[in-house]
Amino acid sequence: MTRPILVAHTDPSEVSSVLSERFPDQAFEYVTHGSMVADALAAHEPEVIFAVAGPSFRRDVHEVMLNHPSVKWLQVGGSGYDHLPFEWDRERVAVTHCAGVLSQYLAETVTGAMLALNGHFLRYRALQSIAEWRPIPFRPIAGQTLLVVGFGAIGQRLAHNARALGMNVIATRNTPAEHPLADEVHGPDRETLLSLLPKADVVSLHLRLNHDTKRSFDAECFAAMKQGAMFINTARGRVVDSDALLAALNDGKLMGAYLDVFEKEPLPPEHPLWQAPNTLITPHTADNVLKFPAYYAEFFADNLARFKAGSELKNRIK
């Protein structure tokens, strides 16, 4: 491959060492701002683009990349691809994503949040702020049932952690089949989900956002959940009806929630979820492990080796 590969990232130092070490004879052209993309495409006519992107790139920058006639393959960072809301010529341009690359780290965060909620850590922090000594009994996590809604790489890693804690695991996925990390695996249809929710002490969402899943976890789903269950969403904010979630927290239906994603981000300061009882909020950082772009770069490098060899690319969007 003689043409340079275009790399779009706000901080090239986070990925350049990985790429130059893996492919010392390959030229890479780095752009650090969305305003640089059109000129770089025209100047270098790249066949391959690695777009980690970042805050200095508009969400529509991928459309510019995909519409450029020289581009044959676009590798995007992150596990989701709902930021690609447009159609492109999928025969001409392959698009791949990084699903699974950070699954272990996101599962670590969810596991920690689940233990913190179950152990009343948020309540103890509030008591600490007023110097009040008040023991609160907690239920053993072992023996509780975790429902994983979306049993992909992240859901499976979470199931691994939950099993190590002695939890029972049930799951839903698009292609249900027996799995060593789950006691039961079911299909994704709504009727099945509603039948599983009353069995779960913890419900953790790991769904992709699409037409079928948008606001699919609604008031009916929260009503079906077990009284005092925990709710976790690290998938996408728009798969949940946030008004229904807030009602379930405020009326005591849920014992607590861990929320990393929201319908509108950043979550506005006046949003009532900030004040919801026993709710842990993080700013879409559940997998924000140190040097995460380097993990994406390693995945891209593996895929680049496949591309050069004419082999099938991993995580291609069909």
Q: Say which of 284, 306, 312, 316 is annotated catalytic.
A: 284
Q: Say which of 68, 157, 206, 236 is annotated catalytic.
A: 236
Examine the residue annotation and report whether 91 is marked as an active-site residue of this protein: no
- Phi and psi torsions of 157, nearest 5°: -65, -40
Rounded CA-CA distance 93/95 in Å is: 6
Examine the residue annotation and report whether 90 is marked as an active-site residue of this protein: no
Q: Say which of 59, 83, 265, 312 is annotated catalytic.
A: 265
Examine the residue annotation and report whether 59 is marked as an active-site residue of this protein: no
Relative to beta strand 229-233, strand 202-205 is parallel
> Which residues are annotated as catalytic?
236, 265, 284
